[in-house]
């Protein structure tokens, strides 16, 4: 368990209904300021000193911070589970949630939470920054303020975006469709296989046909169990049997995300196909995901991928690697039946892939 400290801005007054947002700070570039020439995390109790614009927002905002914040490179599945628990404990007390997160692993966290937070009917929006909030040209202010506005936005008393999202530099993306694409530009995230849920300029334009619609009568449920016995194997010209075998023969391995070429193609070398077949015969589940950012796996379209169907490799369609590996962790954490596991991996669960 982690410890938290909280501060509330714009508290809701009696008999004056307003939206309420819980902001969870995990760490990352966004929350850094300069002290004595060094970047250090700032105390969110002084949030108004850094973001005085928050006082002009007409809804309640509560900030809570992990006692031990972390660089997102150190993000782990147990922290995803703790974030899920924190949201579940506060689900009935807040209308929405904003998670302030480092950019490097934000897409992984967003993907994991999208699977863990089943039947979600409230916004969970991740955002961050490329420059610290203590820097003059920071993008942190706009990202935080707009993420808060989107999180609090309602229509007919219901949240407009009831799903896990990433907001960054004027676009709101489905969390399990996003990838970090830039380290030196402000538009750090893109979603090549799914349109933005909203585009932000002078006004916020929502793309309603693409936003998730909760099932009436569905009950929010946290399913945080993740199984980390998975791996990613990225193909490259000249890959050797020793490299492939070292991944596929990992002790206790249950699943592998296989990053293939183009539309899901791979070498047809006999040794390579035999290694894959041996792994699937041992019960290892292999999911075919393209190395390309846009487009999709079309398994069997070319001769170089026809063998995959024969040995039981699952097509990942247009899923991202980040969503594929977290989906595997989640599915293995929920199911033990091999046929059920393969069925869940091959079909969309929370809009993470499109199957034709």
Catalytic residues: 29
Report how far residue 102's alpha carbon sits from residue 120's, in angstroms, rounded to the nearest whole number. Answer: 23
188, 169 contact by CB (below 8 A): yes
276, 286 contact by CB (below 8 A): yes
Report how far residue 236's alpha carbon sits from residue 259's, in angstroms, rounded to the nearest whole number. Answer: 9
Report how far residue 146's alpha carbon sits from residue 174's, in angstroms, rounded to the nearest whole number. Answer: 16
Report how far residue 179's alpha carbon sits from residue 166's, in angstroms, rounded to the nearest whole number. Answer: 10
* Residue reference for tokens 């040995």: 311
Between strands 255-260 and 230-234, the pairing is parallel
Q: What phi and psi, each to the nearest 5 degrees, are found at residue 174?
A: -60, 130
Q: What phi and psi, each to the nearest 5 degrees, are found at residue 191?
A: -135, 90
Report how far residue 59's alpha carbon sits from residue 56's, in angstroms, rounded to the nearest whole number. Answer: 9
Report how far residue 244's alpha carbon sits from residue 20's, in angstroms, rounded to the nearest whole number. Answer: 50
Question: What residues are paired with 127 via a beta bridge?
Answer: 100
102, 340 contact by CB (below 8 A): no
């Amino acid at each position: 368990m982690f410890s938290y400290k909280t501060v509330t801005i714009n508290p809701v007054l009696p008999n004056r209904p307003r939206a309420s947002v819980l902001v969870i700070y995990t760490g990352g570039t966004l929350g850094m300021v300069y002290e004595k020439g060094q970047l250090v995390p700032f105390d969110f109790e002084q949030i108004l000193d850094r973001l005085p614009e928050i006082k002009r927002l007409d809804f309640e905002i509560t900030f809570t911070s992990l006692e031990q914040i972390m660089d997102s490179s150190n993000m782990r599945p147990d922290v995803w589970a703790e974030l899920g628990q924190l949201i579940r404990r506060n689900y009935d007390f807040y209308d929405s949630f904003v998670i302030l997160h480092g950019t490097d692993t934000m897409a992984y966290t967003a993907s994991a939470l999208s699977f863990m937070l089943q039947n979600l009917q409230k916004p969970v929006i991740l955002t961050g920054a490329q420059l610290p909030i203590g820097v003059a040209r920071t993008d942190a202010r706009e990202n935080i303020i707009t993420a808060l506005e989107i999180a609090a936005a309602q229509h007919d008393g219901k949240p407009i975006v009831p799903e896990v999202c990433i907001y960054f530099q004027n676009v709101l993306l489905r969390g399990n469709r996003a990838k970090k694409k830039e380290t030196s530009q402000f538009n750090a995230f893109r979603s090549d296989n799914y349109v933005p849920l909203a585009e932000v300029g002078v006004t916020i334009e929502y793309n309603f046909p693409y936003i998730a619609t909760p099932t009436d009568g569905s009950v929010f449920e946290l399913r945080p169990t993740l199984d980390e016995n998975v791996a990613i194997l990225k193909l490259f010209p000249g890959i050797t049997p020793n490299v492939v075998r070292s991944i596929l023969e990992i002790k206790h391995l249950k699943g592998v995300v296989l990053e293939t070429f183009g539309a899901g193609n791979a070498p047809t070398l006999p040794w390579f196909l035999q290694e894959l077949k041996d792994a699937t015969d041992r019960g290892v589940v292999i999911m075919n995901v393209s190395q390309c950012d846009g487009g999709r796996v079309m398994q069997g379209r070319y001769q170089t991928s026809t063998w995959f169907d024969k040995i039981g490799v699952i097509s990942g369609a247009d899923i991202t690697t980040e969503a594929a590996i977290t989906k595997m962790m989640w599915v293995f954490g929920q199911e033990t039946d091999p046929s059920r596991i393969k069925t869940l991996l091959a079909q969309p669960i929370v809009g993470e892939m499109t199957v034709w």
